[in-house]
């Protein structure tokens, strides 16, 4: 985390232009004064030291772009929106991904395998920065059935961002589920279950899925962390005021403290979710659990 | 199947969930104006912020000594009921209204103005608009730290309600500057309570903390959602206020704003998307507004480098541009071709300058400068900040220069801060620029081009020009003053360190029930005059 903060810190300061440059050029005296007020005239290393010291105490400093607002306050206003977007996206990705993964695994080599898997390959390959505008073009401009910007302001404005952000992960989940399911479906206990005459739905959803879903669960943590990072693009395309958009704007505004604050948050999320998903995977998978207890 | 059903249900929920907000019909009944205000403001501290978005909110909350006349270019009394100006024009006495009070009931005093002006001029506050008061004697010196004692600055309270202002020299536009929020009063005790006179990051502008003196008080501020203000019952003219409140909605996406307006969630549409302009103009002629704006879009030339240091070259570049084509076919927002730097107005200032489109003359001048048919002319760079509109204009001008003059130009777009940085470092050949005047006077444009002014940035310097501006400042009569500005403008349009392209217009929609909203060049609409017809 320290590495991320330091790297970000030096990068933002290396970018040309400063937080107080404006269309209406202020006199050099004023700029000097502003830099002094925010200690921007100090050597970078001591600025970094101060920042870390304050950050440890939970103080991420004032925003340069919005005087009177703290970075924490701005993050607090944007985070619920980003979290909601990420939540819906992961839900969308799970539902679509797992379902098509199951369908594919039950029809290996057939059309119902190739079709969802080809679509998911496209899903993985097409980045949201392209998918978003395509969806806007189709549903917003040609068909005019869905709003193309905002969040929670007009009916249906949450649909396109959710699909855009969730698609790539739906595709990955689909492939992971398919792989996991194929492995499980070939195992003896499934054959036993089928031999005992259980109906296929029961076999698939109650016996096979529990194991088949494991790779997906394992990937859930990195996926959620990735969704937060992916929100930068999606929030910018759909002009949603979450932390992703703040981050992009802060970068353009050279709002150093806000950039750093959000970087810290995203790093923290990434580490936490990866850890959580490892723990969850261990808990769900008896094989991993036993290994753990032997050690 | 269950999962499909479930996902459908979730999508329906997702699709239907939307915030409940006020619509214009119920707002009309309650006397609440719903304004599309562009973006989230940087803040609400009149001495810190800069920008149009902020201006629109601040004039609801605070009131200066004078107020922009909504039906003209002058000013009308604000917190001051009257004033007198000495014969030499240097001493002004303002009489503050007896019934002007702060929203907590404290009387508004002359001392409050002294404190407020001291605040914006305090170097440590780092205000970007201190120059709005530089006309005041020693204000600039105090702001730049050359003098430490504020008593030497030309503002003092004669008694509780009389403010005396001493100017450096006669300044006819000073009264207009007093209608700018940078000169507005702030409540001294509140400022002191929340961190003192030089604290930029003060919490005093929060709804619970703010004490203000304008027609409205701040009641809610939700970031990126809404800013709500409510009628200030203690405002001196509250009996004549027709609005009970205003909701300022920060909608920074043009398409969302359009949806808001069409679905009756706002009384105005701040910016019309270019492709919809002609449609709205035809379909909603009573709501469609196209008004002149006090701003100029222009190209700034670095006159320190060859061959752009040659006047003939700069003239050729200007002559090759067909401004009519640019406004009719490229910008398409009702802009007017610009033939002077200061936007002209029939009422007060209409410089007789012209910037014709004459490719033949352009080629002749270029040949005289040593580049017949553009031969040997170095390829140069046209810099602009990343924006589709700027790009289209740059492409059109690139074509004009290539086709008419044989000059090759590379287009370079960079992000806003890089653009600003390169301009201020002089690392450019030609850049796009835009300027909106802070007050309606030629000085707010022409002063920029005086030698070494911070916003000049072209390296251009002309002693005669500088002299005309000084003479304008010291001139005895208004007629002389305007003449000096006209002469200065002629020099500028002859030497062309900047090439004006078009005069800005404001193109927006306003619902018919909004009354008392008058067109003016600063696009300022004091809420004291506005009412909503049911």
pLDDT of residue B3: 47
pLDDT band at B213 (very low <50, low <70, confident <90, very high): very high
Assign residue A26 a region (left: φ > 0; alpha: ψ between -120 and 50; beta: otherwise).
beta
Select from B3, B42, B49 the Cβ nearest to the Cβ of A95. Answer: B3
Helix (H, G, I), strand (E, B) or coil at B135: coil
Q: Which of B11, B126, B144, B449 to mutate to test the interface with A (most CBs of A within 10 A)?
A: B126
Residues B127, A30: C-beta atoms closer than 8 Å: yes
A158:B223 CB<8 A: no
A17: which chain B residues are within 8 Å (Cβ-Cβ)? 416-418, 420-421
pLDDT at B5: 47
Short-list B259, B391, B393, CA closest to B335: B393
| A62 contact B CB<8A | yes
Q: Which residues contact B317 (CB under 8 A, 6 or more apart)?
A: B301, B362, B401, B405, B407, B496, B499
Mean pLDDT of B62-70: 95
> pLDDT grade, residue B118 (50/70/90)?
very high
Please write the tens of the pLDDT for every residue from B265-288.
999 999 998 889 999 999 999 999
Give mean pLDDT, residues B481-496. 95
Whether residue A245 lies within 8 A of chain B, CB to CB, comes out as no
B417 and A21: CB-CB below 8 Å?
yes
CA dist., res. B11 & res. A262, Å (int): 30
Best of B1, B23, B50, B201 to disrupt the A interface (most A CBs within 10 Å) is B201
Q: What is the mean pLDDT of residues B229-248?
A: 96
Find all residues with CB under 8 Å of B529, minimum gap 6, and list them: B70, B516, B517, B518
Q: Give the closest-approach CA distance of A88 to chain B in angstroms.
A: 9
CA distance A290 to chain B (A): 32
Across B2-23, average pLDDT: 51
Burial class (CB in 10 A: 0-12, 13-18, 19+), A98: buried
**Cβ contact, residue pair A30, B253, below 8 Å:** no
Q: Tell me whether residues B42 and A65 touch, CB distance under 8 A.
A: yes
CB contact under 8 A, A154 and B15: no
pLDDT score of B9 more than 60: no
| Paired strand residues for B288 | B509
Tell me the chain B residues in contact with residue A69 when contact means C-beta distances shorter than 8 Å.
43, 223
Chain B residues within 8 A of A16 when measuring between CB atoms: 417-418, 421-422
Contacts of B206 in chain A (CB under 8 A): 68
Cβ neighbours of residue B153 closer than 8 Å, sequence gap 6 or more: B117, B118, B121, B136, B137, B138, B139, B142, B147
- Mean pLDDT value across residues B375-403: 94
C-alpha closest to that of B253 among A259, A243, A237, A252: A237
The whole-number pLDDT of residue B16 equals: 41
Q: Are A261 and A66 in contact (CB under 8 A)?
A: no
Query: What integer pLDDT is reported at residue B164 of this predicted model?
Result: 98
Report pLDDT for B296. 96
> For A77, which of B18, B201, B224 is closest by C-beta distance?
B224
- B202 by DSSP, 3-state: which? coil
- Across the A:B interface, residue pairs with CB atoms under 8 Å apart total 138
Please list every residue in chain A whose beta carbon sits closer than 8 Å to the beta carbon of residue B12. Answer: none
* B355-360 LR contacts (CB < 8 Å, sep 24+): B355/B318, B355/B319, B355/B323, B355/B493, B355/B499, B355/B500, B356/B319, B357/B319, B357/B320, B357/B321, B357/B322, B357/B323, B357/B324, B358/B319, B359/B319, B359/B320, B359/B404, B359/B405
Please give chain A's pLDDT, 295 residues, in tens.
Answer: 888 888 989 988 888 888 888 777 778 888 888 888 888 888 888 899 888 888 888 889 999 889 889 999 999 999 999 999 999 999 999 999 999 999 998 888 888 888 888 888 887 888 888 888 898 889 888 888 888 888 887 888 899 999 999 988 999 999 999 999 998 888 888 888 888 888 888 888 888 888 888 888 888 888 888 888 888 889 988 889 999 999 999 998 899 999 999 999 988 888 888 888 888 877 777 666 655 444 3
Asked if A27's CB is within 8 angstroms of B144's CB, the reply is: yes
**Which of A36, A67, A236 to mutate to probe the B interface, most B CBs <10 Å?**
A67
Which carries the bigger pLDDT value, residue A197 or residue B77? B77
The CA-CA-CA angle for residues B254, B256, B257, to 5°, reads 60
Q: What is the pLDDT of residues B156-210, one digit of tens each?
A: 999 999 999 999 988 989 999 999 999 999 999 999 999 999 998 899 999 999 9
Full 3-state SS string of A97-117: HHHHHHHHHHCCCCHHHHHHH
Chain B residues touching residue A92 (CB < 8 angstroms): 7
How far apart are the CA of A36 and the nearest CA of chain B, in angstroms?
9
Which residues of chain A neighbour B437 with C-beta distances below 8 Å? none
Residue B401 has pLDDT above 60, yes or no: yes
User: Which chain A residue is nearest to residue B417, measuring alpha carbons?
Assistant: A17
Q: Are strands B80-85 and B514-515 parallel, antiparallel or unpaired?
A: unpaired
CB contact A33 to B (< 8 Å) = yes
pLDDT of residue A129: 86
- In angstroms, rounded to a whole number, what is the distance separating the alpha carbons of residues B257 and B272? 9
SS (H, E, C) B410-442: EEEEECHHHHHHHHHCCCCCEEEEEEECCCCCC
Contact of A160 with chain B, judged by CB distance below 8 Å, is answered with no
Helix (H, G, I), strand (E, B) or coil at B507: strand
Beta carbons of B382 and B429 less than 8 angstroms apart: yes
| Average pLDDT taken over every residue of chain B | 92
- The residue behind tokens 């071709």 is B337
Q: In what order do the strands lie in the sheet with B216-222?
A: B32-36, B245-249, B226-231, B216-222
Judge whether A238 and A231 are in contact, CB under 8 Å.
no
Listed residue (A136, A86, A91, A131) closest to A243, CA to CA: A86
CB contact under 8 A, A155 and B416: no
CA atoms within 13 A on the CB side of B217: 19
Question: What is the DSSP-derived secondary structure letter of residue B171?
Answer: -
What whole-number distance in Å separates Cα of residue A70 and Cα of residue A258?
A: 9
Residue B134 clears pLDDT 70, i.e. is over it: yes
* Confidence at residue A17, expressed as pLDDT on a 0 to 100 scale: 83
A199 burial (CB, 10 Å; 0-12 / 13-18 / 19+) is exposed
For residue A36, give the chain B residue with the closest CA: B124
The partner residue sitting opposite B202, judged by closest CB among A68, A88, A99, is A68
| B520 has a pLDDT exceeding 70 | yes
| DSSP H or E segment with residue B228 | strand B226-231
Radius of gyration of chain A (CA): 24
What's the farthest any 2 CA atoms get from each other in chain A?
86
Separation CA A60–CA A168 (nearest Å)? 33
Comparing CB atoms, the residue among A22, A62, A159 nearest residue B50 is A22
Would you call A88 an interface residue with chain B, using a CB distance cutoff of 8 Å? yes
What pLDDT is stored for residue A289 in this prediction?
63
pLDDT of residue B14: 47
Distance CA A228, CA B80 (A): 53
Tell whether A241 is within 8 A of chain B (Cβ): yes
pLDDT at A288: 66
**Chain A partners of B4 at a C-beta cutoff of 8 Å?**
99
Mean pLDDT, residues B107-113 taken together? 97
Give pTM, 2 decimals.
0.88
- Comparing alpha-carbon positions, the chain A residue that sits nearest to B54 is A66
Instruction: Identify all chain A residues contacting B422, using CB atoms and an 8 Å cutoff.
Output: 16
State the DSSP H helix or E strand holding residue B281, giving kind and residue range, or none if neither: helix B277-283
- What is the reported pLDDT for B73? 73
What is the rounded radius of gyration, in angstroms, for the C-alpha atoms of chain B? Answer: 25
> By the 8 A CB rule, do A274 and A221 touch?
yes
For the segment B301-318, the average pLDDT, to the nearest whole number, is: 95
Give dist(CA A88, CA A75) in Å, integer: 20
Backbone angles phi, psi at B498, to 5 degrees: -130, 145
pLDDT value of position B2: 46
Is residue B207 within 8 A of residue B219, CB to CB? The reply is: yes
d(CA B390, CA B392): 6
- A175, A118 in Cβ contact below 8 A? no
Handedness of CA B279, B281, B282, B284 (dihedral sign): positive
Mean pLDDT of B297-310: 95
**Phi/psi-derived region of residue B69, left when phi > 0, alpha when psi is between -120 and 50, beta in every other case:** beta
Polymer length of chain B: 534
How many other β-carbons are positioned within 10 Å of the β-carbon of residue A7?
11
Nearest chain B Cα to A63, which residue? Answer: B201
CA nearest A16 in B: which residue?
A: B418
Q: What is the pLDDT of residues B329-360, one digit of tens each?
A: 999 888 999 999 999 987 778 888 889 999 99
Q: Do B50 and A24 make contact, defined as CB atoms within 8 angstroms? A: yes
């Amino acid at each position: 985390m320290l590495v991320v903060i330091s790297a970000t810190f030096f990068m933002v300061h290396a970018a040309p232009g400063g937080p107080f440059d404006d269309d209406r050029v202020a006199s050099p005296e004023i700029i000097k004064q502003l830099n002094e007020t925010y200690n921007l005239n100090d050597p970078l290393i001591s600025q970094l030291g101060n920042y870390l010291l304050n950050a440890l105490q939970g103080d991420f400093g004032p925003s340069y772009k919005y005087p009177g607002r703290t970075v924490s306050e701005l993050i607090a206003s944007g985070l619920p929106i980003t979290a909601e977007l990420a939540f819906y996206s992961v839900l969308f990705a799970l539902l679509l991904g797992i379902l098509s993964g199951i369908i594919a695994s039950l029809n290996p080599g057939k059309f119902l395998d190739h079709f969802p898997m080809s679509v998911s390959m496209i899903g993985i390959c097409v980045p949201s920065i392209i998918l978003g505008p395509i969806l806007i073009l189709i549903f917003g401009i040609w068909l005019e059935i869905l709003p193309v910007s905002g969040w929670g302001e007009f009916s249906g404005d949450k649909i396109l961002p959710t699909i855009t952000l969730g698609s790539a992960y739906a595709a990955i989940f689909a492939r992971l589920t398919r792989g996991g399911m194929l492995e499980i479906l070939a195992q003896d206990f499934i054959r036993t279950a089928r031999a005992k005459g259980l109906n296929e739905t029961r076999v698939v959803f109650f016996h096979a899925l529990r194991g088949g879903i494991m790779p997906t669960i394992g990937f859930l943590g990195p996926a959620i962390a990735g969704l937060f990072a992916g929100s930068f693009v999606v929030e910018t395309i759909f002009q949603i005021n979450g932390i992703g958009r703040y981050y992009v704007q802060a970068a353009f505004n050279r709002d150093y403290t806000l950039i750093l604050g959000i970087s810290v948050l995203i790093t923290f999320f990434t580490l936490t979710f990866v850890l959580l998903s490892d723990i969850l995977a261990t808990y769900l998978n008896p094989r991993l659990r036993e290994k753990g207890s032997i050690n | 199947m269950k999962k499909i059903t479930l996902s459908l249900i979730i999508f329906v929920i997702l699709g239907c969930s939307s915030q409940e907000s006020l619509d214009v019909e119920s707002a009309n009944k309650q006397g609440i104006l719903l304004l599309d205000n562009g973006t989230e403001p940087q803040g609400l501290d009149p001495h810190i912020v800069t920008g149009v978005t902020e201006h629109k909110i601040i004039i609801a909350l605070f009131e200066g000594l004078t107020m922009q006349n909504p039906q003209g270019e002058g000013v009308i009394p604000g917190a001051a009921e009257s004033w007198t100006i000495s014969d030499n024009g240097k001493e002004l006495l303002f009489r503050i209204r007896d019934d002007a009070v702060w929203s907590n009931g404290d009387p508004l005093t002359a001392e409050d103005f002294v404190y407020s002006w001291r605040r914006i001029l305090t170097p440590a506050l780092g205000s970007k608009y201190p120059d709005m008061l530089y006309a005041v004697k020693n204000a600039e010196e105090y702001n730049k730290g050359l003098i430490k004692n504020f008593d030497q600055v030309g503002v003092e309270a004669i008694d509780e309600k009389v403010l005396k202002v001493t100017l450096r020299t006669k300044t006819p536009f000073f009264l207009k500057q007093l209608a700018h929020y940078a000169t507005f009063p702030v409540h001294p005790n509140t400022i002191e309570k929340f961190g003192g006179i030089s604290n930029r990051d003060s919490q005093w502008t929060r709804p619970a903390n703010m004490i203000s003196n304008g027609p409205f008080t701040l009641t809610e501020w939700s970031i990126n959602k809404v800013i709500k203000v409510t009628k200030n019952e203690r405002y001196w003219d509250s009996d004549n206020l027709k609005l009970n409140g205003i909701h300022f909605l920060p909608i920074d996406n043009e398409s969302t704003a359009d949806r808001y307006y069409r679905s009756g969630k706002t009384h105005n549409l701040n910016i019309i998307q270019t492709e919809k302009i002609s449609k709205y103009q035809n379909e909603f002629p009573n709501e469609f507004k196209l008004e002149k704006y006090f701003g100029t879009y222009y190209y700034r030339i670095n006159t320190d480098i060859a061959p752009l240091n040659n006047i003939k070259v700069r003239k050729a570049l200007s002559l090759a541009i067909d401004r009519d084509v640019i406004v009719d076919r490229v910008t398409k927002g009702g802009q007017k071709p610009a033939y002077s730097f200061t936007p002209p107005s029939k009422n007060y200032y209409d410089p007789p300058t012209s910037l014709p489109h004459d490719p033949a003359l352009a080629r002749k001048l270029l040949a005289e400068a040593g580049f017949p048919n553009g031969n040997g002319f170095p390829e140069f760079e046209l810099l602009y900040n990343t924006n589709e509109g700027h790009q289209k204009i740059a492409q059109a001008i690139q074509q004009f220069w290539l086709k008419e003059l044989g000059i090759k130009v590379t287009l370079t777009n960079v992000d806003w801060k890089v653009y600003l940085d390169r301009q201020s470092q002089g690392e450019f050949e030609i850049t796009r620029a835009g300027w909106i005047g802070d007050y309606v006077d030629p000085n707010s444009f022409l002063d920029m081009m005086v030698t070494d002014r911070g916003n000049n940035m072209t390296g251009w310097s002309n002693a005669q020009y500088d002299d005309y501006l000084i003479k304008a400042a010291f001139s005895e009569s208004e007629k002389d003053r305007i003449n000096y500005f006209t002469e200065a403008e002629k020099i500028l349009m002859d030497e062309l360190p900047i090439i004006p392209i078009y005069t800005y217009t404001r193109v927006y929609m306003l619902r018919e029930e909004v009354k008392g909203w008058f067109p003016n060049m600063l696009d300022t609409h004091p809420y004291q005059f506005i009412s909503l017809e049911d």
